[in-house]
């Protein structure tokens, strides 16, 4: 039930699609290799994009919850990183 109440936290589906395309692009892979020393797994963006599409068509909260968890974990990671660099 909280997933439906927090649906405003989820970005539009086109954002997930763009992130997935960028992650899989040649320039994206080159950037990943340069920054991280390896290419990253893009399946998270793909799964988020597909879950978003399913939620948009069905309005079934189980698909929204998958996206919400994914966004939430990314938010926590980014906040943790920003706190570590500030302190």
The model's confidence at residue 87, banded by pLDDT at 50, 70 and 90, is very low
Please, which residues have CB within 8 angstroms of residue 76's CB and are 6 or more apart in sequence? none
Paired tokens of 24: 């899989």
Q: Are 49 and 13 in contact (CB under 8 A)?
A: yes
The model's confidence at residue 86, banded by pLDDT at 50, 70 and 90, is very low
Which whole number is the average pLDDT over 23-34?
Answer: 93
The reply to whether the predicted model has a pTM over 0.75 is: no
């Amino acid at each position: 039930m909280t997933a439906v109440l927090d649906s405003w936290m989820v970005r539009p589906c086109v954002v997930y699609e763009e992130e997935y395309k960028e992650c899989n692009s040649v320039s994206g892979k080159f950037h990943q290799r340069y920054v991280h020393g390896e290419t990253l797994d893009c399946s998270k963006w793909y799964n988020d994009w597909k879950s978003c599409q399913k939620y948009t068509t069905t309005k079934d909260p189980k698909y929204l919850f998958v996206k919400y968890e994914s966004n939430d974990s990314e938010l926590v990671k980014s906040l943790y990183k920003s706190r570590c660099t500030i302190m």
